[in-house]
Amino acid sequence: MDCLFCRMVAGDVPATVVHETDRTLAFRDINPQAPTHVLVIPKAHHPTVATLASDDPDLLGAVIRAARQVAVQEGLATEDGVEPGYRLVTNTGPAAGQTVHHVHLHLLGGRDLGWPPG
Ligand code: AMP
Ligand code: ZN
């Protein structure tokens, strides 16, 4: 299987890594849509957030906890608060625009993100 994000986990494709644990990796999106745009992934390959939630819910929790730590690093949240705030987006399937089929959370922040999203 040829998966871009698995290749990044393996170190075969360069990534600007901002956070890493034994089970998760976070790196800057190559085409940022906000001042902070980081992708947070499990190192293990799971196609979507839905399959990850079914197959390894503890790992999904680890990915969300990693995202929070990145948000704190980026000044988007505090250890005990949610100011100024950030958004986690998980595109699932073609209508949502999922292009990489290794589950990833988009962590967006640093500007007024607006609602509803496009
Ligand atoms: P999605 O469209 O939700 O599947 O998101 C895939 C994301 O991966 C897009 O925001 C791309 O900009 C990003 N992306 C693609 N290739 C790379 C890369 N080599 N390094 C960092 N981000 C990438
Ligand atoms: Zn993968």
| Residue whose CA lies nearest to ligand 1 atom number 16 | 30
Q: Is 19 a catalytic residue?
A: no
Q: What is the mean pLDDT of residues 16-38?
A: 98
What's the pTM value of the predicted model, to 2 decimals? 0.97
Q: Which two tokens stand for residue 62?
A: 């680890």
Q: Say how many Å lie between the CA of residue 7 and the centre of ligand 2.
A: 7
Ligand nearest to the CA of 44: 2
The pLDDT of residue 85 is above 80: yes
The pLDDT of residue 117 is above 90: no
- The response to whether residue 94 sits with its C-beta less than 6 Å from ligand 1 reads no
**7-22 core/surface letters (b: 16 or more CB in 10 A; e: else):** ebbeeeeebeebbeee
Domains, the chain, ordered by start: 4-109 (3.30.428.10)
Atom of ligand 1 nearest to the CA of 100: 4
